[in-house]
Amino acid sequence: MAEEKKPTPQAAAGTDSNEVAVEAQIVGQFIKDLSFENPSLGKLLEGPAEPPSIKLEINVAAKKLKQDDFFESVIDFKAVASNKDGTIYDLEVLYAGLFRIKNMPEAALEPFLLVNCPTLTFPFLRRLVADITREGGFPPLLLDPIDFGQLFMRRKQDMAAAANSKPN
């Protein structure tokens, strides 16, 4: 009687046993730079002011560090609240995550650093922004979730459009 061989989990999944698994680990996260300015406090104390308009700017950058397999992913966040009397507050934060990434294909590394990594650190930045604006004497600025995948795709499209519009 012939013995039936059951496929190994790797074979069943269609992977080669020689392939090495991708490893990604958050080593730490931290504030790289922080600035909060409240330049118009005197004007605000003079009486009720009109509601502010808030301008937000969010960028993401990443780089490989000198140590093997270590990368930094940084969210560059800016919020300026203003009304007809001027700037109410100006908040700038560089919030970074330190990641150890092994065996990731080169083609997947950039999207991982600019989409997945900021997605992991953003909730902590969101809380920090709310705390700082509240401690600055204002209602907390509560940020909506951000689709970093959409930001990444838009950035790629903008870069492609800029490259196509350059004269040869």
CA 111 to CA 70: how far, in whole Å? Answer: 16
**pLDDT of res. 110:** 95
Residue type, 77: F
Average pLDDT value for the chain: 86
- Among residues 115, 136, 20, 22, the alpha carbon closest in space to that of 62 is found at 115
Entry pTM: 0.81
- For residue 6, is pLDDT > 80? no
In angstroms, the CA 118 to CA 125 distance is 10
Pairwise CA distance, residues 50 & 29, whole Å: 37
Structure tokens, 115: 């989409």
Instruction: Kindly state the average pLDDT of the residues 25-46.
Output: 86
Q: Give the tens place of pLDDT for each residue, 69-91.
A: 999 999 999 999 998 888 999 99
CA-CA distance, 73 to 70, in Å (whole number)?
A: 10
Domains and CATH numbers, the chain: 22-143 (3.10.420.10)
> What CA–CA distance (Å, rounded) separates 148 from 145?
9
pLDDT surpasses 70 at 12: no
The rounded radius of gyration (Å) of the Cα atoms in the chain is 23
